[in-house]
């Protein structure tokens, strides 16, 4: 579970951090139109989003296994 959370955090960090260079360029020159840097930003942000999605799916799979095990063990907290 911890590895899945690390993958999720790294993916989000990549997705959000990839926008920093573009924002720095735009802050230094508001009239700048760095097309190449913008395309790179979108590509890296997409890759970071995919990595975060993989981590999120792994966390959900692990969580569902825990809940199912507790239901099968007839844990009182999970009874309806």
Cα–Cα dist 33/15, whole Å: 21
Is residue 77 predicted with pLDDT exceeding 80?
Answer: no
Count of domains observed in the chain: 1
Report CA-CA distances (Å) from 65 to 36, 58, 75. 44, 11, 14
Query: Domain of 19?
Result: 2-78
Span 31-57, pLDDT tens digits: 988 999 999 999 999 999 999 999 999
Span 1-41, pLDDT tens digits: 789 999 999 999 999 999 999 999 989 998 988 999 999 99
């Amino acid at each position: 579970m911890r590895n899945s959370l690390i993958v999720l955090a790294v993916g989000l960090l990549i997705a959000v951090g990839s926008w920093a260079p573009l924002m720095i360029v735009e802050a230094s020159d508001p009239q700048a139109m760095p097309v190449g840097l913008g395309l790179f930003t979108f590509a890296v942000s997409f890759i970071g989003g995919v990595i975060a999605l993989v981590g999120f799916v792994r966390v959900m799979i692990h969580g569902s296994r825990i809940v199912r095990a507790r239901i099968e063990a007839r844990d009182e907290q999970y009874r309806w």
